Structure 1
Amino acid sequence: MRTARLRTVHPVLWAGWAALAAGAVLCVIGWYGISGERFAERQLPYLASCTVPGAALIIASAVLLTHGRNALAAARVEELYGLLVAAESADADESGQAVTEPVAVSGELLMVPGGTLWHRADCPLVAGKTDALPVDSRVLARGELDPCPICEPAASDDRSSEAGG
Structure 2
Amino acid sequence: MGTGRLRGAHPVLWAGWAALAAGAVLCVAGWYGVSGERYAERQLPYLASCTIPGAALIVAGAVLLTYGRVHAANARVEELYGLLVAVAEPADAREAVVPAPVAVSGELRMVPGGTLWHRADCPLVAGKPQVVPVDGKLLAGGDLDPCPICEPDATDS
Q: Please state which band the TM-score falls in when normalised by the shorter chain.
A: 0.5 to 0.7
- Look up the SS of the partner of 1:66 in the other structure: helix
Structure 1 segments unaligned to the other structure (5+ residues): 102-107, 109-118, 129-158
Name the SS for the 1:93 alignment partner: coil
Q: Which residue of 2 aligns with 1:64?
A: 64
Higher helix share: 1
1:164 to 123, 143, 146: 143
CA RMSD of aligned residues (A): 3.8
Matched-pair contact (CA < 8 Å) for 1:5–1:75: no
Structure 1 residues 31 and 162: CA distance shift in structure 2, 3 A: farther
1:93 aligns with 2:90: yes
Q: Which runs of 4+ in 1 moved over 6 A?
A: 98-101, 119-122
| Cα distance in 1 for residues equivalent to 2:26 and 2:11 | 22
State the TM-score, normalized to the length of structure 1.
Answer: 0.54
Q: Which amino acid aligns with 2:142?
A: A
Matches of 1:5 and 1:42 in 2, distance apart? 50
Contact 1:9–1:71 (8 Å) recurs in 2:
no
> Residues 164, 27 of structure 1: CA spacing in aligned structure 2 closer, same or farther, 3 A cutoff?
same
Q: How does 1:79-158 map to 2 (within 5 A)?
A: 79-86=79-86, 89-90=87-88, 92-93=89-90, 96=93, 97=96
Unaligned regions of 5+ residues in structure 2, if any?
101-109, 119-123, 126-137, 145-157
Alpha-carbon deviation of 1:83? 1.6
Give the aligned partner of residue 77 of structure 2.
77
Matches of 2:27 and 2:117, distance apart in 1: 64
Matches of 1:30 and 1:38, distance apart in 2: 14
Alpha carbons of 1:78 and 1:30: their partners in 2 closer, same or farther (altered >3 Å)? same
TM-score (norm 2): 0.57
Displacement, 1:121?
Answer: 8.2
Query: Identity, % of aligned pairs?
Result: 65
1:98 positional shift: 8.0
After superposition, the Cα gap between the structure-2 partners of 1:27 and 1:85, relative to the gap in structure 1 and judged at 3 Å, is same
Q: Could you tell me whether the CA contact under 8 Å between 1:23 and 1:57 is conserved in 2?
A: yes
Larger Rg: 2
- CA shift, 1:163, in A, is 2.4
